[in-house]
Amino acid sequence: MMQDTLARKLRVLRAERGLTLREAAERTGVDKDTLSKLERGIRHPHDVTISRLAKGYGVPVEELLEDPALAGTPGKAEAPVGLGIEALSTEELREAALELSADINWNRTRESARAETRKETVTRALNLAAIDAIGGELRRRGEEPLETLIPAYRRWKRAMTTPTEVAKPETDAGDSEAAEAG
């Protein structure tokens, strides 16, 4: 069910932005063939892929993972908007990040990722999104970054950097070298 819903959401997001498959792939850092398979519901995404898609399309991870069939269902808990991490102390944020990171298998293999249930995939993606939000709040406060507290988070952040973000500084440096040589 999630794959059909996610596939539909990805097609809608791309169409709303007027992007070709190639442009969407460049924007999100997700391979064009992978994106095509995700949009057709043929492939199940990894958490890093979900995060890259959300970042590339400018939507929260939760929006991609939310099942519309559950939205508005009586008894379904909804997170209050605007309340949360900014009200917590720095120590509470660090504790929460450590608790969330303890529930994540940072060294999982491709096989174990494929074997995950829908609930495990959603939980992992939401935990990573929460840790990332906590890291952003700590940076905003000028506190020591989460990357020093949770080394595996640093590796995950590096993996979240899209190829265009990594290549851009090199391109700029190459342009200035070419200008100096010319």
Per-residue pLDDT reduced to its tens digit, 34-66: 999 888 888 888 888 888 898 999 988 888 876
Within 10 angstroms of residue 162's Cβ, the number of other Cβ atoms is 16
The confidence score (pLDDT) of residue 128 equals 81
Confidence at 23, pLDDT banded by 50, 70, 90: very high
What's the pLDDT tens digit per position in 153-177?
A: 888 777 766 555 544 444 444 444 4
Q: What is the average per-residue pLDDT within 3-9?
A: 76
Instruction: Give residue-wise pLDDT tens across range 64-95.
Output: 876 554 344 333 333 333 436 888 889 988 88
Distance CA 116, CA 46 (A): 10
If 0-12 CB within 10 Å is exposed, 13-18 middle and 19+ buried, where does residue 116 land?
middle
**Residue 124, pLDDT score:** 80
**Predicted confidence (pLDDT) at residue 20 exceeds the cutoff of 80:** yes
pTM: 0.49
* Residue-level pLDDT at 149: 82
pLDDT classification of 28: cutoffs 50, 70, 90: very high
Question: What pLDDT is recorded for position 53?
Answer: 92
Q: Is the pLDDT of residue 138 over 80?
A: yes
The whole-angstrom distance between residue 37's C-alpha and the CA centroid of its chain comes to 18
- At residue 69, the pLDDT reads 44
Task: Give the DSSP per-residue string, 57-101.
Answer: HT--HHHHH--TTTTT-TT---PPTT-SGGGS-HHHHHHHHHHHH
At 48, which amino acid appears?
V
Per-residue pLDDT tens digits for 96-136: 888 888 877 777 777 877 787 877 877 888 888 888 888 88
